[in-house]
Amino acid sequence: SESLITVRRGARGGARVQLPKAEVAARYAGLILQHKGTTLEDLYVARSLIEPQAVGLLARSHSDEDIVRLRDAVAHEPSDSRVGTVRSHEHFHALLIELTGNQTLQVLIGIIEHLLSSADWSRLDPDQDSASIREASQRSLRAHHKVIDLIEAGDDEGAADLWRRHLIGTKDYVTRGNVKTVL
């Protein structure tokens, strides 16, 4: 039930131990948050408190390879699919955290991102081709490019401030209307 063991049949079969995944922790965290009546906005507030600090950390300790990976991530932005665009943005957020090298941040943000991505998909369907989602996506992409510039310049305060404003703007966009609960 925890997805920690898989069983294969055949000559090369048998039980295999799997690495624990953040999705399992996210499922349990989601149940607890759902039971407490936690709102989607609450998750975004938590994210906007943690992620900007991680971006500031990355600005202080990045490598040239980190900048290349970040620029590569925004260079391959899909434009033909709203879902593809959202996945690309989620990948960029996860990459920022990964590049800090901090395992605790990766797990914590991984749980939040998993819960948010589950909630966000329901919001996209009615807005699939709306002008507002295209505009929000372009604003996000501009913020991604700008935060890379600030990280590369080593401007930890500027990068953290920009990222906080970006996340608050995202929260305001996603939590508009009737979207009130986490799951």
- Tell me if the pTM is above 0.75: yes
> At residue 179, does pLDDT exceed 60?
no
In percent, the amount of the chain with pLDDT more than 70 equals 85
Instruction: Output the CA torsion sign for 47, 53, 56, 61.
Output: negative
Query: What is the predicted pLDDT for the residue at 41?
Result: 85
Q: How is residue 124 written in tokens?
A: 């996209």
Question: Is the pLDDT reported for residue 127 higher than 90?
Answer: no
- Tell me: the pLDDT tens digits for 51-76? 999 999 999 999 999 999 999 999 87
- More confident: 182 or 38: 38
Burial of 113 (0-12, 13-18, 19+ CB in 10 A): buried
